[in-house]
Structure 1
Amino acid sequence: MANTSRIELLQQFVKDEPDNPFNIYALALEYQNIDLKKAVGYFDQLLDKHPEYLPTYFHAAALNAEIEEIEKALSIYKSGIELAKSQNDQHALRELKNAFQNFLFENDLDE
């Protein structure tokens, strides 16, 4: 399936199920490859309207780091780590902590 038809399908899913964070998440991931600004917008929407949706944090933080929104990425990583702890999701916690450490190293930051 071409990217555009997948995006159209996901947009329809979002319209049909506006309270399902997975559809917005999938749309954000699709846009990561073709339109970073739209991807950031969808990740911001998730963080705002579905802050409990843990998968958002890893990708949202990485994307913000990629576009050099360093402070925002830092905040998203920290929030994601806290959420993973509160949800007792050890796998997500490990992934977020590893990505956060790499982010700190790559950006020469101390925590």
Structure 2
Amino acid sequence: MDRIAQLKQFLESSPNDSFLKHALALEYIKLGDDITARKLFEELLAHEPGYTGSYYHLGKLLERVGDTQAAISTYEKGMTMAKAANERHTYNELQSAYEDLVY
């Protein structure tokens, strides 16, 4: 069974598991399916906005597809959430990606 099938099977019994959704989105990115990956990241963050690691990957995806404004907003929201959670490493990664895009 491939990784996507496994993750989907796990999600059937735990549909709101943020880790599983994040992992599945990353698998879709590997396949070049940005539309499905974006949908999964957006669902995950709507359900659990404090899952800060997903902001970076969603922001990078948005940059790649040319949606610069959405990428900027995603990085900004992620930085806000990471700061509130005192997740300095995640904050620094998001800030670096944000600055690379804006400046």
Aligned residue among 41, 44, 47 for 1:46: 44
Q: Tell me, in whole angstroms, the C-alpha distance in 1 between the residues paired with 2:62 and 2:98.
A: 12
The answer on 1:7 being equivalent to 2:4 is yes
Deviation at 1:19, TM superposition (A): 2.2
Q: Tell me, in whole angstroms, the C-alpha distance in 1 between the residues paired with 2:69 and 2:98.
A: 12
- Residue aligned with 2:2, SS: helix
Q: Tell me, in whole angstroms, the C-alpha distance in 1 between the residues paired with 2:98 and 2:10.
A: 32
Partner of 1:19 in structure 2?
Answer: 16
Contact 2:21-2:40 at 8 Å conserved across structures: yes
Contact 2:50-2:82 at 8 Å conserved across structures: no
Q: Tell me, in whole angstroms, the C-alpha distance in 2 between the residues paired with 1:55 and 1:87.
A: 12
CA RMSD of aligned residues (A): 1.1
Deviation at 1:78, TM superposition (A): 0.3
TM-score (norm 2): 0.93
Aligned length: 102
Partner of 1:77 in structure 2?
Answer: 75
Highest RCO, 1 vs 2 (Cα 8 Å, sep ≥ 6): 2
- Residue aligned with 1:91, SS: helix
The answer on 1:88 being equivalent to 2:55 is no
Partner of 1:109 in structure 2?
Answer: none
Task: Name the aligned partner's letter for residue 48 of structure 2.
Answer: H
* Structure label with greater radius of gyration: 1
Task: Name the aligned partner's letter for residue 60 of structure 2.
Answer: A
Q: Tell me, in whole angstroms, the C-alpha distance in 1 between the residues paired with 2:61 and 2:67.
A: 9
TM-score (norm 1): 0.87
Aligned residue among 58, 61, 69 for 1:60: 58
